[in-house]
Structure 1
Amino acid sequence: MSEPNVVAGLSLDRLENITRHLDENYIRPGKFPGTVTLVARKGEIAWVKAQGLMDVERDKPAQRDTLFRIYSMTKPVTSIAMMQLYEQGRFLLDDPVHKYIPSWKQRRVYASGVYPNFLTRPAATTMTIRDLFTHMSGLTYGFLFRSNVDAAYRTLKLDGGRDLTLESLVEHLAELPLEFDPGTAWNYSVATDVLGYLVQQLSGQPLDDYFREHVFDPLQMKDTGFQVRDDQMDRFAACYLYQPGDTMKLQDDPETSRYRHRPNFLSGGAGLVSTVDDYFRFAQALCQGGQLEGQRIIGRKTLEFMRSNHLPGNQDLPGLSIGAFSETPYEGNGFGLGFSVKTDVTKSYTNGSVGEYGWGGLASTNFFVDPVEEMVMVFMTQLMPSSSYPVREELRAMVNGALV
């Protein structure tokens, strides 16, 4: 007997486990405001579900077209944009970064001290463009709270202060020491913001214009951008912050959000807002080798290259990471050019396929592409930080459990 309610080889009854699980364990207990989840296979959206509230204070239900801050799910978009320029011969991955940012030529590495009185030594290696893609550059993030270097990032508001621009970010970074010699360790960082700066330098276009012309318009991603337009406001979710005791408090109100205006700082690392359907169009283009509905955003071979593990010696993240924060579990996962890449399913402790790739955002959004199963999942919610709950691993278990 064949199983009823199957779409694209996915059991809809089993996918309903996601509805139940999120409702019982996250939304009703007040851990998440609301969620929108989409699962597709072989190019067909099999299942999509909006649950809970997009704005608790205004009692507005989450809808399929709700706009979410996707934070670091911006990084794959920036990485694709940069690799479009690679395909045009504008740079090589082993080019030194200082070829394009001359002030970065004499990089130094932290030895001791606190900002502004650092003791440093000359870097033993030269930072390459690939080091920026793979988070092996020696740069860091202020929110990591791990070192005296990231404390300097916080002082200078390099994670996105009101007066920051891509130009001033690059200038500040030229003066700060690196955490380690480039290419010798993995540490999550502002490196993708630097890639966004390079997209502007190499293309001669502002980053938002470049994204629109070369990614969003070809894929008909009408709701994705660096700001929320007036005509989108009624669909813009509130964002929440985890509180001890598994509760949450309002972190960013839609009415007063900085996303209402085009930012000075066009963050290729964390700046975009999007919807589940828009981001699905991006992820589905990746799942189909770089094209969707006749519009190609990246070459098939280039994408294969990007979703390979680029960590030295094919190591996974535990072998190289110096920090505790990532948008993916470390074990069994390597890193490509802009995505995490699953290298060992059993070591990862999570159901899936070798070669599955994706990333998540600070407000707990997440996506993955499974090229073996031709499957895409996009999950949207608004709770910071993304390390609050293991919902991403739970979703993978339920999505893979629905394959028939």
Structure 2
Amino acid sequence: MDMQGRETQGMSRERLGRIDRFINEAYIANGKLPCALTQVWRRGELVLNSVLGQADRERQVPLAEDSIFRIYSMTKPITSVAIMMLLEECKIALDDPVSKYIPAWENLGVFTGGFMESFQTRAPARPMQVVDLLRHTSGLTYGFQQNTNVDAAYRRLKLGDIATDGTLDDMIEKLATLPLEFSPGEAWNYSVSTDVLGYLVGKISGMPFETFLKERIFDPLGMVDTAFHVPEDKVSRFCACYAIGALGSKVISPRGPMLQDDPLASTYLKPPSFVSGGGGLVSTAADYMCFARMLLQGGELDGARLLSPKTLALMTANHLPGGVDLPRMSRSMFSEATYEGVGFGLGFATTLTPATTLIPGSAGDFFWGGAASTFFWVDPEEDLIGLFLTQLLPSSAYPVRRQLRTMVYSAITEPGAGAR
């Protein structure tokens, strides 16, 4: 990139430089984050590429541009793209009842009381549909929500736990024995819904879910380091993962972030039993930027078309019933999105009204993040992508996502093509 001049692709070089300095001073130098890889893509060019901190503090391994990260829930947009590819082939429809593909779920009830061995239920107002899985209105949940007796049953059965010895088939079978939190379409609750989508991809395509992702998404996009485990020849590039305290706690340890997953003794070093479309992938900045660029460009990258622009427009529209934002529908104790002024599409959160979010952005930008504080967003109006990778649990520890968006948008000096 030509470093002469004061601007690049309609962005101030000096203000882009502030981002690197801010993250270093606010998070890396004081040890709050172990590392930070920040990239900004605008108008076909990587205008910021900041690599800070250590991939492995214990072994003093510096972060590198090709370091491999656990992306956790940033797996969800990839799985959602996979199911929409099958939709384009008319192998599935958004209003299909899920029981069409999982007959054992035909009579799922809605929780009214009781405990795991004696749940009391009522019939749902309508059957769960495929669209409910994509937008998290299915009535399913996550065990870590710690909100209801149904959540407790998920924890006991380790449903959605990427370290479980069970399989996708096992999860589907166990979910058939549990009630829904609410009638499908009545509320929004972050859940194992996207793991169920991974199961459907495998069942409908006739190939293992992980094979579909590799052959239909990763290989065409050149995502050479994205997978459900880290092979032996790439372990030296695998980051350590840290936590600010005991998992599930927001209390910061006085010793600073504690090692949560040693890259040389991680469960990620072998193929998992449970292939999680909701949170199981590892990836690199280069790989995920390829995926994000495909989204920005309407479903195509370098001649490889995964989706039609119209399908992607459908995915990034707000699909919450009545067009409301998340606070009007959410029962979730946790998600990877801020709420006010934000809706939810088919695999992504989407900004409805930037003024309501109180964060700079554009109506129609879409985004998601992962449990280890990773984050990305795509803004078609500004022809822009932001990508932030680190390895610190939980993602709610620090407001770095809000701060990054603020600083990126403050660096814009010319509006994008969609805004002119």
Helix, strand or coil at the partner of 1:386? coil
Residue 259 of structure 1 is matched in structure 2 by 268
Quote how far apart the aligned CAs of 1:113 are.
Answer: 1.7
Contact 2:226-2:287 within 8 A present in 1 as well: yes
Deviation at 1:19, TM superposition (A): 1.3
Which amino acid counterpart does residue 300 of structure 1 have in structure 2?
Answer: P
Matches within 5 A, 1:113-152: 113-152=114-153
| 2:404 aligned with 1:395 | yes
Structure 1, residues 288-335: CA drift from partner, whole Å, max 9, x if none? 011111111111110011000001111000000012311010111000
Q: 1:360 aligns with which of 359, 366, 369?
A: 369
Count matched residues: 402
TM-superposed deviation, 1:342: 0.3
Distance in 1 separating the partners of 2:356 and 2:231: 44
SS of the residue 1:217 aligns to? helix
Could you tell me which residue of structure 2 aligns to residue 52 of structure 1? 53
**Counterpart residue type for residue 279 of structure 2:** A
Aligned match for 2:165, one of 163, 175, 185: 163
CA contact (8 A) 2:160 2:195 kept: no
Pairing partner for 2:390 from 373, 381, 394: 381
- Counterpart check, 1:217 vs 2:226: no
Q: Give matches, 1:231-250, under 5 Å.
A: 231-243=233-245, 244-245=251-252, 247-250=256-259
- AA aligned to 1:111 is T
| CA apart distance, 1:401 | 0.6
Q: In the alignment, is residue 66 of structure 1 matched against residue 62 of structure 2?
A: no
SS at 1:254's partner residue? Answer: coil
Q: What are the Cα deviations for residues 71-128 of structure 1, in whole angstroms up to 9, with x where unaligned?
A: 0000000000000000000011001000000000001011112222212112222100
Normalised TM-score (structure 1): 0.98
Unaligned runs of 5+ in 1: none
TM-aligned CA deviation for residue 43 of structure 1 = 1.9
Distance, in Å, in 1 between the alignment partners of 2:358 and 2:144 is 27
1:147 and 1:5 mapped to 2: Cα distance? Answer: 55
The SS at the match of 2:176 is: helix
Aligned to 2:416: none
- 1:39 is aligned with what amino acid? V
User: Distance between the aligned counterparts of 1:29 and 1:140, measured in 2?
Assistant: 36
Cα deviation code 1:319-358 (max 9, x no counterpart): 0001231101011100000000000101111100000001
1:323 alignment partner, one of 332, 338, 345: 332
Q: CA RMSD in A?
A: 1.1
Query: Are 1:199 and 2:234 matched, yes or no?
Result: no
Contact 2:15 2:410 (8 Å CA) reproduced: yes
The amino acid of 1:23's aligned partner reads N
Question: What per-residue deviation string (whole Å, max 9, x for no partner) do you get for residues 113-172 of structure 1?
Answer: 222221211222210000000000000001111111111100001122421211000001
- Quote the Cα distance in structure 2 between the aligned partners of 1:123 and 1:172: 19
CA distance in structure 2 between the partners assigned to 1:285 and 1:93 by the alignment = 22
Q: Is the 8 A contact 2:299 2:308 kept in 1?
A: yes
Kept in 1: contact 2:350–2:367 (CA 8 A): yes
Secondary structure, in 3 states, of the residue corresponding to 1:256? coil
CA–CA distance in structure 1, aligned partners of residues 191 and 164 of structure 2? 19
Q: Secondary structure at the match of 2:48?
A: strand
What is the deviation of 1:5? 3.2
Q: What letter matches 1:65 in structure 2? A: D
CA distance in 2, matches of 1:241, 1:114: 32
Could you tell me how far apart the structure 2 residues matched to 1:157 and 1:218 are? 34
Deviation of 1:12 (Å): 2.2
In the alignment, is residue 291 of structure 1 matched against residue 291 of structure 2?
Answer: no
Change (3 A) 1:398 1:290: same
| Partner Cα separation in structure 1 for residue 222 and residue 93 of structure 2 | 29
User: Which stretch shifts more, 57-66 or 157-166?
Assistant: 157-166
Please report how far the alpha carbon of residue 371 of structure 1 lies from its aligned counterpart in structure 2 after TM superposition: 0.6
Provide the C-alpha distance between the structure 1 equivalents of 2:304 and 2:378, rounded to a whole number of angstroms: 19
Aligned residue in 2 for 1:179: 181
Deviates more, 1:244-253 or 1:196-205: 244-253
- Matched position secondary structure for 2:358: coil
